[in-house]
Amino acid sequence: MVSARDDLVAKVVPALATVPAAAWDACANPDPTCHNPFLSYAFLSALELAGCAVAAKGWAPQHIVLERGGNVIGCLPLYLKSHSRGEYVFDTGWADAYARAGGDYYPKLQAAVPFTPVPGRRLLIHPDADTAETELLLIAAARDLARRLGASSVHATFTTEGEWQRLGAAGLLQRTDQQFHWHNQGYRTFEDFLAGLASRKRKTVRKERATALAPGLAIEHVLGRDITEAHWDAFFKFYTDTGSRKWGSPYLNRKFFSLLGAAMRERCLLVLAKRGGRYIAGALNLIGGDTLYGRYWGAIEHHACLHFEVCYYQAIEYAIAHGLKRVEAGAQGEHKLARGYLPATTYSVHWIADPSLKRAVAKYLEGERRYVAEMGAALAEQGPYRKGAPGSVEGEVCSLADEQD
């Protein structure tokens, strides 16, 4: 237990299995129209049950659950970290500088979805609770826990803009970065989307799609109850290939995907490429209330433009067909710009115990925020849309932060 006063209790939970799933999900996803599958009990518990987000891997669960009168009113997915891997908001420079000054940056506390750079709420509040008060109580509990554990800092990464603003006003350091998201401007077909692109970009997309499927490849969408363990076997080979090249060893194991399929099958969409009756590439997407989240991709054969087709164009087609507002295709990647994905600011907040380190980081973040804003504006100007078309700089663009907060 972290703290208790009157009928308010803040508990530290070292395993999500000890929390009732319904209580967690009532805070994580109270509105099905904007359901974020990565915040769900099923997704986060699968990471723990598979042995991916556990202490042995440097992700020791220290979730905070806030109760009032015995009812859960807020949750914070929180991990005690002994490294900075699998976060996608990079602070290794801070850790190195602190070590040179004689400090210990690790352990630290991380409020995040492990291995998943997906924006969304990190302070999960029950709809009947006071949002502002409960957010501050959760952060206060996290700071108290950091002091008890001797952690250098508390970080909440890929928050909503609203959380970022409120917690910044409460004294936490504010950081920004950038991803690329596709927004559905009410398109009825993929051709409607293409019509909004500049002529040269439109021709490029058509050429890439034709190139991707020229060698006799076929694309399959497999979702829901049609996903079998054989499909997961094939996909895991693709994922392992990419993970080995990017990180040396993949963050997720084969067991995780079986658990995910069992618990969240209706939210899973596998886009698979097949040649000669054999799967040779694929991407896993999770289906949210209004967003398609593209996350993991891999291939065991190289084919020109196949990555663009499987990860980007197929995702756009699915979103249009199912009336989804947005496609999020993971971290970074300026190459997405030419394919209709526009810059979107991402947000994180940071509490640092050491005043000297806090001052140094705060100064660094001032310049970084300016750079991110300037780069985002410059990239938006280079977008592929015709001037005045929906999705262009002059057109109306959806606000990720406002919709998710």
> Exposed, middle or buried, 208 (CB in 10 Å: 0-12/13-18/19+)?
buried
User: What is d(CA 29, CA 327) in angstroms, rounded to the nearest whole number?
Assistant: 19
> What pLDDT is attached to residue 1?
45
Neighbours of 365 (CB within 10 A): 17
Q: Which phi and psi angles does 310 have, rounded to 5°?
A: -70, -40
pLDDT of residue 392: 58
Torsion angle (degrees, nearest 10) of CA 361, 366, 370, 372: 20
CB 275 within 8 A of CB 215: yes
Token output for 308: 């663009």
Spans in the chain with pLDDT lower than 70: 1-6, 243-248, 391-405
Q: What's the confidence (pLDDT) of residue 331?
A: 83
| Cα angle 77-331-185, degrees, rounded to a multiple of 5 | 100
Domains, the chain, with CATH or none: 3-178+345-379 (3.40.630.30), 185-324 (3.40.630.30)
Specify the residue for token string 């886009």: 271
pLDDT of residue 243: 58
Q: What is the pLDDT of residue 163?
A: 98
- E strands along 206-353, which residues? 218-223, 268-275, 278-287, 291-299, 326-331, 342-352
d(CA 57, CA 79): 11
CA distance 109 to 156: 9
- What pLDDT sits at residue 248? 62
pLDDT at position 4 is 52
Residue 22 CB neighbours (<10 A): 9
Amino acid of residue 37: P
73-96 burial code (b ≥16 CB/10 A, e <16): bbbbbbbbbeebbbbbbebeebbe
| Per-residue pLDDT, 7 | 84
